[in-house]
Amino acid sequence: MRILVTGGAGFIGSHIVAALVERSHEPVVLDALLESAHTAPPSLPAEAEWVRADVTDRAAVRSALRGVDAVCHQAAMVGMGTGFGDAPAYVNCNNGGTAELLAAMAEAGVRDLVLAGSMVVYGEGRYTCATHAAVHPAPRSESDLAAGRFDPTCPHCGDELRPGLVDEQAPPDPRNVYAVTKLAQEHLSAVWARETGGRAVSLRYHNVYGPGMPSNTPYAGVASFFRSALGRGEAPRVFEDGRQRRDFVHVRDVAEANVAALHALPGREPGHLRAFNTGSGEPHTVGDMARQLADSHGGPHPRFTGEYRLGDVRHITASSQRIRDELGWRARVGFAEGMAEFARAEQRPAASPARSEA
């Protein structure tokens, strides 16, 4: 297959391109190579065709779509950013860019799409109360966070909640600007599929990490923050009490999930978008991850600061049963193995804000 990979020079996109080449596909990489995201020319397989352009440039996208069988849409502005002042940039890039891409696909007759989705669309994860069963907690208040009350409580009785695995049936509840744009990307893609007879898959990535992750930027994930600190000889600064639960999934596994989705698209029913959690299936706390990275790197040990960010959620871990059942994909890189590799791997230098993958 000939596959257009938007954001294909970025962290996740470049791993997808490598995985496609390994399977004798023909990737076409569309990337603006913004200096804020790429301070050095990226290294991609010679087999990859290059189009240097922004995904918001419909004429360039239309040209890149010639002869393409499917699109793997990774281009996005990622992370929580530095404040609400970033909102226009997130919306213009993530939603404007997706709209331009889908419009060009509609014109070109390209009908298969794999979208880089995100677990942030759920807000908080799945919780159960001993009295009220499954409940959906409200966003955490600043007064609770400032007082060190980090865990949400039952909205009915105020009792402690047990966190569990969230599945794709959970209602969306985006709690920051980035999350809103990721949910909007799915809605746009679903409308495109209905109106054009297209087939779309959204891979809701959980916390992706691994070699080539950008360094020293506020527009990245927590694993990048910790690895960047260690690279500078500084202790990772862990917010809250470090007991936040996450699902850390290796970037090579995520690349394989994209390949599996691309292979499955031709057999799927047209006119629909199907979402799949894409995680390791192994919950770990943020503190565990910081300690594992620091130990593998040789220190310094993490520092637990009690700081917090409004818009962060407490616990979000994935059930990836659907993607195992329907696409035959499962994560292969274990937590300890992956963190040990990441602790020694090179990061790509990046300034901010970074347009890369979600």
Question: For residues 236 and 307, is the Cβ–Cβ distance under 8 A?
Answer: no
Q: How far apart are the first and last CA of the chain?
A: 24
Tell me whether residue 308 is one of the annotated catalytic residues.
Answer: no
Question: For residues 208 and 146, is the Cβ–Cβ distance under 8 A?
Answer: no
Query: Using omega within 30 degrees of 0 as the cis cutoff, is the peptide bond preceding 300 cis?
Result: yes
Q: Which residues pair with 297 in a beta bridge?
A: none
Q: Which residues pair with 215 in a beta bridge?
A: 349
Written as six digits, the tokens of 48 are 């990859």
* DSSP element (H, E) containing 213: none
Q: What's the DSSP call for residue 41?
A: -
Residue 130 CA to residue 134 CA, distance in Å, equals 9
Question: For residues 356 and 217, is the Cβ–Cβ distance under 8 A?
Answer: no
Which of these is catalytic: 178, 209, 219, 308?
178
Q: So which residues are the catalytic ones?
A: 178
